[in-house]
Structure formats: C-alpha cells, structure tokens
Structure 1
C-alpha cells in the first residue's frame, strides 16, 4: 500500500523498475484475494461519475469512473472544465461540471438505501474563480449542503495529504419507481456551483436503517431517554468512520461498499492509550445480527485499549472527542470484538461506557454479549441529540470508557466508531461553514503593508481612548462596590450562597445547602455504581446523607456546563417553597466551584415511563394507572392554583412523573417552569419571546405556534400523557405507518371511528370497563383541543378522572355478581 500511495502522489512509472512493477502487480493480486469485499456484498447499483469528463477511466482504489453527460438534465447550462492547477490526487479531480445556474443529475436506481458520495476539488477553473464557489446541494427532499462555501471548507480542512480536496458521504433511501435526483443551486447571482465526482453505491437494507422486525430491546436508545429508529424517511451524513488502529482501511479493503475507515488517532484525547493488533490467530464468526458485510475483517482484529493507566487508576477514562454540528440528532455506532487470549470467561473484562458523560452501559462484557465465544463481532447503536446554543457553530460528542470495579482485567476496548448525522424535521442535513479563512503568509504580508498607516492612527486614538475608558471603569467599580456593601449589610442572614457573588437568594429554612464534600461522601465520590438515571441535566445518583439515615436522589449537572445554570436556579427557586404530596420534594442543593447539584427525596420506583413501555418491569394495572393520572392532575392543580403564584410546569411527560415506595405519583423536574400571574384570576398568560421549551410530542400547538404560554399548555401535555398511559407507547413513533405515527392523531381517528380498543395497551386488553374507557378517552381528547380556552382546568380534570375511576370500580364490582364483556365498546 505504501508503494501504491507513492504512485498516487505523483511518482511516474518510468522511475519504477520492472522488478518493482512485477512486485506491485503481485501485491495487487494478493490484495484482491485478501480483500474479499465484492464477495461479501455486491451492490445492485454502483455509479462512479467523473463530472465534466468525456472519457471513462479507473483508479488504483478499484473505482471505475464514467462520463457524466447522459445523467445531466437536458436543459442544463453547466459547462465542463479542467482545473487551472491539476490535482495530485487520484480520482475524479481532472475535470468539473460548473454553472452559475441550477443543474440536476438524475440516476435510475433500484429501490432501497444508497451511499451518495460527493467529491470536490476546490481550486480555480477557467472563468470560475475559486472564492466564488458557494452553493446548495439537494437530493430529493433532503438538503445535503446549504450555501456551501467550498474554498472556506477546504482551507479549514487540516488534512495536509488532501489539499483542496473535499469529500462528503450521505445515506439516502430511494422509493419504488423513483429516480435519485441531485440538484446543485448557486447561492447568489455572482456565485457558482460545481462538482467533480458523484458516487452512488447500494447498501444492505438494514446496515444503518432500522429493521422494523427487530426487537424493541435491540433498538438504538437516546442517551438518557427513549428508543430511536432510523426509518426510511431519514437521510444520514457520515461524520466519522474510524478504525481504532494505526492504519487506514481503504475503499478497496471494505466489504464491497467502498467505505474508507480512517484512523481514530486525532480524536483520542486520553494519554498513554494503546493500539493492539491480534492478527489472524483466531477466525472471526459473524452472525445474523452482525453480518460479514458490517465492517472489514481486518477492522475487528485491531483495537484500542487503555494501556498502562487502566491498572494504575480505575477512574482513568479512555476518551474520544468528536466535533459535530449542533442542532441535530446523531447515531453513534460502536464496534466490538473480543480476541484477547486472557479473556476466557464472563467477568474477566467488564467496563462502562459514557456518552456525553451519561452512563449508557454499566456492564459491558463482550464475551457474554457473544454467548461466550471469542472472535464474534458485535455492534451497539446509540442516539445522541446535540442542541444548538445561540450562535454556536461547533459542538462535541464525547465517548468515554472505564473499567468496572468488579472486572478481573482492568481495561476497556473498542474496535471502531461510526457517527452519522440525521436530518432535522425539515429534511436539512447542512451544517454551518467555518468562520474565517486562514491567512497565507502572502496574505499576511499584504495586510501588513495596507494597514501600516492605519495602525499608527489607531494606536494614537487607542491610547487616548484607553485613558478615558480606564477612568470610567474606576468610577463604575467604586459606585458598584458602595451599592454591594449597602445590599450586603441589609440582607437577611437566612439567605445564603456558596459560590462567589452568584447569589441564589434561597431561604435556608426552605432549602438546605450542602457542601461538595457532603455530596462526595453521599455518593462515594460520585461512583458510577450509584447512578440510577441519566438526563439532559446530568447523572442522577442514589445517595445517603445524615450518616446514612436518609436515602436521597442526587442530580448532578455536568461539571462546567453552561446549559443548565438557568434551569438549576429556576428549579431551586420554584420548587423549594412547594409542599404537596404529589410534588417531589427538594431537600437541598450544592452550588460550589463548577458543581451544581440538586438533592431530592428518593423515589423507589423511578419514573412512570419506566413502567409503561420498553421495560422489563411488570405492567401496571389499569386501576393503578388511573390513580397515578389522578395524582398527577392533583399535583398540577396545586401548581396552577394552590401556590401563591401560578406555576406553569412546561414539561409534563411520563419521564417527569416519579413514583415513591407506595406508588404515589409526584411531579418533578421544574427546570423549565415559568411563573405566571398571582392565583385567583381565570387564566394566567405568559408571553414567551424566547425559544419554545418543552418535549417534542407533548408541546401545546397554541404555545409553539403563537408563543402564548398558559396553564392550559400543561393541560395539553397531560392529555398526551393520558393517552401514553392508556396505549403504553411513545407519543411519536416514526417506525409506525403514517396514520399511527402520532399518538394524538391516532387516538382522535380511533375515537371518531368507534374503534377505541385499538389504542389500548395489549397488557390491558379485556380489563377496561367500556364506560370507563370512553370517559377516559373523552377526557384526554378534551385536553388536546386546539383552542386552549376550551380545554378543562386542572381542577376539572381531577374530578373527571376520579369519575372515570369510579366507573371502572362500579363495573368491576358488578362483575362479581354478573359477568360483564369489557370488550364491548361502542
């Protein structure tokens, strides 16, 4: 392969002796025998298009490139041109298709998922200046690139071996009878669009898309949340495909789909980690869940582990940090294969996996995962949502591994990482361009000459301004200090803070303050063994305070996070004065250094969501579910009318309803709550000028469409939760047929068609009194009316749900004397 790369980068055949050529041919022959990718998976569609070229050719990476003219739309005005500066890279870079107007390629492909790869050589072409290339790329309903500035992206790329060469890979699904159309649209009148190469390769149906027949337990899970499915309506962008080893696996070494497996070196931020290659000592055994086309054989024979640090410090993490675009959901795939000869039984090597500092796997035992067989590849998929914060252009996904304290071999290992961006609800996959063009030395010299005179003038003006500004600052600080002294002298002693001047203004008689030392003692220094839950805020630990006499739930914000400071303060100020049997009690908080921690009563039975679906917990009875709904309505009624001011929760959902040791439901998580007008008025209205907060599937349409927040927004969310309790499914299921995708729409459809039993949880079929079912659904749908003023109040809901429970009890009691057909719902 080294000899291949020399030829690719410009060495001529005349400089290579005959013996070397024969050796090269022999190596290529061996490589074709060794890399059995085409024998593993043969794509139905394989297009390699050299855009702007009039001839066909092949490259040493086994790719065949053909002319593009027959795939262009007949009305196109795009021209073909060679680059003014030839590329030293092999591939479709010796010509380009360019235009200042829109042009489209159309490909006849078979139905199913495809790799769509775009190749760009960012340089100047005749009559097309490099800096003017700015355009959008669409494939069917998806926007792959938006106002894509090729030169800006190429200059920001830090790969010295591929100067000015850009590569993007996407996964799209093509339906029956459809053609794959790719459209290039210039962003402005003085800009142009261009493309050097297009590659389309079929992939197996369920390589990255979710198999609808797969068991729920095997679906990807959101970090800290519900299951996630990548359905055929999704498009993906490959962000990273990384082999945990020291050598790239080229397209010719893939399993027939021409994927390139880069090395992970630049993304590993741990010190003293090692890469190990086990060679061909053990044969690999692929399975139905992990077929032989999943990844190359070679990939599973090398891995990265923790090196000498693992045995010295069990808290040491093997860590990867991957830059991503904020505002998208990502699918993270991890590849494992146990080949370590020291691992002979379950428990020999166990480790933990953290994504975004959330514990996602607490007992990774690859040997057990593969039925105690060595050399069996296995993959695990996770969904990660990266929210956008203001004008932030770059975020990071972190992956950490650490040995489990009970592991005999103190180590963790990984073979490969794949990360895919998933399109947003509008079909967009495009991220932002880099901020600035790096200056070349010539640019910097020119800038210095042009700005030398101006710099002198600025220096003089700056000196004068600095004196004036410094005087204002001194005066401001003196005034501020006097005000602070006056405030501190007049403040009550029962108010305290624990971090600098960032006062939380929390009365200590309502909310207890804990030191970080107390929190560490309560959780054994935040030992992952005590993690009982994860969420957007951070980990939740089961802890012991007051010398072990009190069990508490300790919610710890990710250290150093800026996202939760407002929600942290909001939760304390909102929740600390509240006292109600259906509101979770806040015991105290810790606000010290970079730590923000909340301490609550411990809820033995977790969240309501934990007992409805995607769980191994026993199913709740219908009467039990009804009582929980009543508890929740009572708690929300207290927020709306029982406190001094109206409190709008804004995030009512099953994961925020906790169940104590007696199964009493308590409303929790007040980080998004808002304070309305004092109680006593008919309805409190809060105009929201900032971004809408809440959870998708539960959001009041009146709130997110009109930015009008009232307590009836909580009523709407409760209505969704009532249907969730009845059906035992999530509010949104993208894997369902269109009619059933939205639980709300499906419930309305079933009600209108007189088929209510269709939405009842299978665990409850035949156990609901018909009168109770009808009344319960009517109550839920009344909560979901478009006009918030027509929805019932929370007090009304308490009475209506109690009435539904009475209907269930009456029929059940009558059934003792005379049989009742619970399926007879008209």
Structure 2
C-alpha cells in the first residue's frame, strides 16, 4: 500500500514536471518562433579590456573588448598610435556598454573582420564626449567599409551630446573579409582625430532588403519603371518607424537587433479621432506571404487608422528629412487589423511618396487575401540632383478613395534607406555644423598620447619653415612658367583637341573646338568606375567594354567606353569619333561628354542612356516588350538623327554602322544614334556620288552594293536602317539560324514571308492584333524600299522619316476613327506657296505652321 501510494505520487510529480516543461517550451516558441538566428553576431566594445555584458537591452549580449585577441577580427593600427580611453564626462542617460570606452587615434586605423559571405548589418556606435586629451570638438574623420564610404568629414559632436548609432547594410563577397577603416581628416586641422565606441556586425536573411535575382524589383516612383537593390550597393538606415505604436528596442526585434522608433514627431497633423489601433496580445499576425522575421509582431499589431467611419476626405502625412542627390528605398508595412474587413475593395486608399503617386488603389486585403496577414511594399525614390538644397522632405501621404464602404487608410510601419552611388559607393551625406567646444576649465589635463608630440613638433617647426616654403613656392612658379611655355610650343598642334600630356599622348592635329570636347584624366576615369570594376560593366563589344560611372562630384551619370589598347585601327576610330561627335548636336544623336588619352588608354565618355540599346528591348532580354507605338517613335527618332547626319550637319556624314545596338534609348524613351567610329564624310562634289573605301560594318546590316563594289553612299545607311526596321517588327536578329543550323538573312526570310502572303508570320507575336493593317502595310513598304538591291532606287532618309510619320498617323488616326490624310502630299501642296522658306526648313515644319506661312505669303503677293 505504501509502495502503491509512492508510485502514484511519483507519477503525479512526473506529470506536473512534464506539464511545466511543455508550458515552458510553448512560451519559448510563442516568443521566439519568428526569430532569425544570425550566422554572425559580433559586438565589439571598442577601447575596452575583456568582455562585457551590454546594458543596452535585456538579452545580456556579450560585447568583446578590442584589446583582447580574437580570431574573428584584427585591429590594424597604421601608425601604432591609437589609444583606449574612457569618457571624461559621465552622462547618466548614456548606457555604459559600449559607450563609456572608445578607440581613438590621430592616424588611420582599421578593424578587419573574418566573416562568411552574404548580407550584413553594420552598426557604428558613437558617444561624442571628451576622452582625456581628445577634445570632443576635434573629432573629424571618415569611415569606409570595404569599397563603401559610410561617413565623410564626420563630426559626431555636431550630431548629439548623447550616444547614437548609424546602421548600414552591405554584402560581403566570396573573399569573406571586411575592413572598416577610420581616417582622421587632417586637411582641416592637424589635431583632428577619429574614434569609435562600438561596432556591431550581424548577418541578415538573404534578400531581406536586397532584390532577389530574377524576382520583383522596387517600383521607381514617378518614372514608370523598376529599380533593383543589387549586391554591389550598400544601404544606410535613415528611419525605421513603428507607426501608431511604442518604440521597439533591439532585444524585441526578430534577432537582428534593429531599433524601431515611434512616428509621433513625423506626423504632419494629428486629428482628435486619430488614435492608434492597438490590439490585444492574444492576436498574432499570420505570416503567410512574408517571412516572420521581416518585422516584430508589435509593428503589425499597431497602426494608424483614422476614423473607421469617416466621411470627410482628408489625408494623413508623415514627413522625413533626407539628404539630396541619393536614391532612397522606402518600405511600407501593412497589416489589416479590422477583423470585420474580409473582402477587397472595403478599405482602398492612394499612396503618395515624395509627392508622387506610388499606388492608385492600395488595398491590403486585395494584396494578402485576409486580415491579420502582414505585407510590405517597396518603392525607390530618385530626387533631382540639379538642385542646390542639401536636404529635402521625403513625405508619405495616404489619401482615402471613396467606395461604398466608409473605411479609409491604414499604415503599420515605415523603413527608409539611403542607397549608395553605384560608381563611387558613397553613402556620406550632409554633416551639421560642429557644436561649440566645452570650456577648457571643464577638461581635466592628462598626459597626451604619442601623436600629440608630433603635433607639437609640427607647430614648432611651422614658423621657422614658412620662409623656406615661400621661397620654394616662388621657385616653383618660375619653373612652372618655363615648363608651360615649353609645353605650349610642343603641343601647338593639339590646341583644338586638349589632349593632356601623358606617357603616350598622340598628336591628332585636329581642328575641333576645345569648348565642345572635355578632357578627363585617367585618375578621374578610374575613380568614376572604381578602377573599372566589372560590376559596373553595362555593355561589351569588339571595341571593348562600356562602364557606368559618375562624374562632377557624383552628380552626373555617364557611359564610359574603354577601347582595347594597342590597335592602330582602334586609335583611328577613337580619333574619328571625337572629331565627329564634337561637331554634332542633335536630339537624336548621343552626346560626347569627353575623352581620356592617358597611358595607352583610349576612353570615350558619353551621356548615360538609362534604357540601354534598342536591341535590349526586342529579343534575348528580360525587358518588357515594347508596344507598337513605342517602336514607331524610336524608329522615327533614329531616322531623324540619320537624316540630320546626311543633310543637316556642316558636312554630309555616312554613319556606316547602323544597327540596333547602336541606337540607344534614354530615360524618356528618346532614341539616339551612337558609335561614330566608322563614320565617313560623305561625297563633297556634285559629280561624286560615292566614296571608295574598304568595307567596314556589321554582318547582317551591310549594303550588298557596298560589299560587292566597295562604294559607300548615303544609301548604304538606308539599307542598314531597313534591316533595323525589320528587326523592330519581327523581334528577330539580322542573322537567323535555319533548320540545318546555317545562318540565314533576316531580310531574305522576311521577303519570303511577304512574297508568300505570310505577313502575320513576320510580326512579333507580342504585337499581333495591335497593329492597324494599313499601318502595317505602309511600314513594310517603307522597310522593303530601304532594302532594294539598286541603291539608286532606295528611299532617302528624308523619305524614310516621312514614311514613318505617315505610318504613325495611320495607326493613331484609324485607332481613333479619324480620316487619314497623307501629310506629305498636303505639305507638298502648301510649300509651293511659301516663298521665303528653304527646302530643308519646310521638312521640319508642322502642317499648321506651313498653312499659316502659306496664307501670309498669299496675302503679301495679292498686295
């Protein structure tokens, strides 16, 4: 009996223990089911000895002192003079770890981390106090993380008198190492120093903020296209906001130690009925679309939702100050918290970002399918780089859309990131004016560190050396004047092309006006392309590679074409392109910004064409297919550019290499003819109809007459453009692979389709059913009349322009049910009555303008 009771008691005890254990597991799962477990979770307490437990949060996280030996990072001191010091002034509101100690130096120092590859958070912690001899007002330095400039000429005391941190996102490559370098700005004053209190390096989930390869990209608001956040860019967290809720400290984040601020100070207006929608802890978000670590539950369980039955048409706006001249990523978090909303079209609202319409009809239920399901939308914002303002307002505005329901807007969270410049990796923004230094009486004296002795010696020698410096400067001026005189004589043949003296400069003896052609040094080009980094390559051809870069203090994007060195023919084409493009200015011709001719490098700098080549939008690309109207406008623009080359320039020019990869498209979808390396001045005399020259050009586009007889004419460009017209219609390359794997001409294939009455077979499947038949027939006639075997029978580029204009008129007029008038025939009648207008001017007049001029001329004649 005793044993029975004892066994029964044991079973009860075990049951109770098991129940408690299950409750414990459940509580852990409830709190941590959505945590992300970082591969790297490294926290450095700079200037400290030994490990410390952080009092920043309740996680009892360990911070490693940087005076300790550690296999995860190394402190590299370039002049071995950095010091560890504790803050002189104690601020009770500042947490002890990691802010009471710092690493400080008058010279550069680096933390080198050994980490896995992938995307990381970097957090830099600062407490701008006075540390012994290091006066807080003298901190002025820059910070780089690998290629990226995080801070430049940064004065922490100008930011705050308390502790603060800056957060960044970067991608670590296969090298699996990351250097964070602190460099004092000694150009401002000799006692400038750099310092850091704490560094965090924390892994983040792949593609949490970066675009997934092949996935959805950010919507570029106001521009109608997308923008990817690639691994070759870095981000700075500018704002992270829990809308309608309380601050969320780092230990309550989802394992990445992010801090979420409140939105009160950013709201433009607060309404009496604008209470946050805070719901009980018994509700949990249902993570069915996005990962559970995207944001803490508290972000999605609080929101701003203004008046659930409001009938007034108001909006709610948040305002955020940001630096100009950067692209920004804006992430808006949503979660429908009103449990009575179960269908789409119940809460519909518009979203404006930076005063531009981002969403015409935002509907969280439509996006998610249910309430309590978190979701986010990402947008990219590009501010105008031409303004002089250092900071602008990035606003987020929600405006209700009236439906049969009375519900209005909702927003749960906001994240705003600054995106680094692609060419320079710069993230450094505007620094506030430095704060005044504290009175010296409050700074206790201490033994100066090693670098202060150097500073003292420099100050002592400065006065004695000033006379030597002045004397040296005078000698330099005399020497420079003599050298310049010698250079002027030596380079007198080059004064029209400002080819800078270099190790291999060549005298081209050109007569180009110097104000139309800008010279770049190789150092400038190298900086603009980050030493010709492969990630910046936007095109490759037989000539070499094309890089995207930024010039003029990173304000101007450009395309930089680096020609292959060592080729005499390349040097000739380099010279030809400079000569041609420096004299040509037309809306539909790409503009040459400048060139570089240093150290055997031949580099051309052009305006950047944001949408790439015409071929990029026709086939073998992931780009969305162009509409028929877009294709017509691009062809018409390119034809107008060629017509200008043939008849409008000072000398008639034959391009000689017309193809879809040499027709570029800018951000506004304007076509521009490019690549004039093979161009030739056209026939100059009345008796001369062609130029005899070696055949040059691209296979598939070559004029058969030119190929057989080596006689180059303007009609050779017309033939090549006819091939382009077929490419645009058919979305096929100029050389096709036949069934027996031999190359066949697109021209011959298209002629066969036309002869057999299979016109629909010629048309890009994407366009079928969208082209008016009369328009299609006129377009095909124009193309085949460019491709006639006898060059004399081909259209002129002037005829091509008219043909394409009439084709566009046919499409637009028949679509709109209007009567079609052949504009060319009408203008031919009108221009006969215009007495004082040149033939070429008439070609570019509108019908209305010609009609007015005709009436005026007629009235003058009658008088």
TM-score, structure 1 normalization: 0.54
- Given that 1:351 and 1:407 are in contact with CA atoms closer than 8 Å, whether structure 2 keeps it comes out as no
Q: Is the 8 A contact 2:221 2:356 kept in 1?
A: no
Paired position in structure 1 for 2:752: 814
Is the 1:37–1:254 contact (alpha carbons within 8 Å) kept by the matching residues of 2?
A: no
Between the aligned partners of 2:657 and 2:261, the Cα distance in structure 1 is: 48
- Native 8 Å contact 1:305 1:318 kept in 2: no
Label 1:219 to 1:328 Cα distance change in 2 as closer, same or farther (>3 A): closer
| Aligned partner (choices 64, 87, 108) of residue 66 of structure 1 | 64
Q: 1:370 to 1:612 in 2, by over 3 A?
A: farther
Q: 2:721 aligns with which of 795, 801, 807?
A: 801
Are the counterparts in 2 of residues 626 and 805 from structure 1 also a CA contact under 8 Å? no
Q: Is structure 2 residue 92 aligned with structure 1 residue 85?
A: no
1:408 aligns with 2:405: yes
Query: Are 1:55 and 2:50 an aligned pair?
Result: yes
Deviation at 1:258, TM superposition (A): 0.6
**Does residue 340 of the first structure (1) align with residue 338 of the second (2)?**
yes
Q: 1:616 to 1:99 in 2, by over 3 A?
A: closer
Q: CA deviation at 1:197?
A: 0.6
Deviations 1:498-549 (A, max 9, x none): xxxxxxxxxxxxxxxxxxxxxxxxxxxxxxxxxxxxxxxxxxxxxxxxxxxx
Matches within 5 A, 1:372-771: 373-406=370-403, 408-424=405-421, 425-435=423-433, 437=435, 620=627, 627-636=632-641, 681-682=650-651, 722=663
Query: CA-to-partner distance for each residue in 1:444-489, whole Å, 9 max, x for gaps?
Result: xxxxxxxxxxxxxxxxxxxxxxxxxxxxxxxxxxxxxxxxxxxxxx
What's the counterpart of residue 647 of structure 1? none
* Structure 1 residues 438 and 417: CA distance shift in structure 2, 3 A: farther
Q: Which residue of 2 aligns with 1:698?
A: none
Q: Aligned-pair distance for 1:118?
A: 0.6
Cα RMSD between the aligned structures?
A: 4.6
Cα distance in structure 2, aligned partners of 1:317 and 1:610: 41
Deviations 1:632-652 (A, max 9, x none): 23455688999xxxxxxxxxx
Deviation at 1:85, TM superposition (A): 0.5
Q: Does 1:110 align with 2:111?
A: no
Name 2:195's counterpart in structure 1: 194
The answer to whether the Cα contact below 8 Å between 1:337 and 1:377 also exists between their aligned partners in 2 is: yes
SS in 1 for 2:319: strand
Cα separation, partners in 2 of 1:680 and 1:815, compared to 1, 3 Å: closer
User: Are the structure 2 counterparts of residues 804 and 385 from structure 1 closer, same or farther at C-alpha, using a change threshold of 3 Å?
Assistant: closer
For 2:295 and 2:702, locate their aligned partners in 1 and report how far apart those are by CA, in whole Å.
48
Relative to structure 1, the CA distance from residue 321 to residue 625 in structure 2 (aligned partners, 3 Å threshold; closer, same or farther) is closer
Matched-pair contact (CA < 8 Å) for 2:54–2:98: no
- Change in Cα spacing, 1:197 to 1:37, as seen in structure 2 (3 Å) is farther
Gaps of 5+ in 1: 1-28, 155-162, 444-581, 583-607, 643-678, 685-710, 732-742, 749-771, 779-790
- For residues 133-169 of structure 1, the C-alpha deviation after alignment (integer angstroms, 9 at most, x for no partner) is 0000111111100010111122xxxxxxxx4212100
Q: For residue 470 of structure 2, what is the aligned residue in structure 1?
A: none
| Structure 2 match to 1:204 | 205
User: How far apart are the structure 1 equivalents of 2:41 and 2:394?
Assistant: 33
Counterpart position of 2:107 = 101
- Which residue of the partner structure matches residue 264 of structure 1? 263
Q: Which has the larger radius of gyration?
A: 2
1:721–1:226 Cα change, 3 Å: farther
SS at structure 2 position matched to 1:204: coil
Q: Is the 8 A contact 2:119 2:206 kept in 1?
A: yes
Q: Is the 8 A contact 1:223 1:383 kept in 2?
A: no
Say which SS state the counterpart of residue 115 (structure 1) adopts. strand
1:292 aligns with 292
Q: Structure 1 pair 130/626, CA: closer, same or farther in 2 (3 Å)?
A: closer
Match of 1:169 among 160, 167, 175: 167
Structure 2 unaligned spans of 5+:
1-23, 442-587, 589-613, 678-696, 704-711, 727-744, 763-863
Distance 1:380 1:811, change over 3 A: same
SS at match of 1:275: coil
Partner Cα distance (1:246, 1:317) in 2 = 20
TM-score by length of 2: 0.52
Separation in 1 of the partners of 2:122 and 2:41?
A: 10
Query: Contact (CA 8 Å) 2:121, 2:203: kept in 1 or not?
Result: yes
Measured after TM superposition, the shift of residue 264 of structure 1 is: 1.1
Q: For the structure 1 residues 730 and 744, does the alpha-carbon distance in structure 2 shift closer, same or farther, using more than 3 Å as the test?
A: farther
Distance 2:201 2:237 in 1: 14
State the distance in 1 between where 2:212 and 2:657 align.
33
Alignment check: 8 A CA contact 2:660 2:724 kept:
no
Q: CA deviation at 1:40?
A: 1.8
Deviation at residue 809 of structure 1 after TM alignment: 6.3
Q: Is 1:321–1:398's contact at 8 Å kept on the other side of the alignment?
A: yes
Q: CA deviation at 1:225?
A: 3.2
Distance in 2 (alpha carbons) for counterparts of 1:609 and 1:178: 38
Measure, in 2, the Cα distance between the counterparts of 1:683 and 1:140. 51
**Structure 1 residues 718 and 238 mapped into 2: Cα distance closer, same or farther (>3 Å)?**
farther
Q: Post-superposition shift, 1:279? A: 2.2
Q: Provide, for residues 607-666 of structure 1, a one-character-per-residue CA deviation record: whole Å limited to 9, x for no partner.
A: x99997999987657xx8765443223455688999xxxxxxxxxxxxxxxxxxxxxxxx
Distance (whole Å) between structure 1 residues aligned to residue 384 and residue 226 of structure 2: 18
For residues 289-328 of structure 1, give each alpha carbon's deviation from its aligned partner in whole angstroms, at most 9, with x where no partner exists: 41000000111000012348x83432x2211111111111
Count of matched residue positions in the alignment of Structure 1 and Structure 2:
501
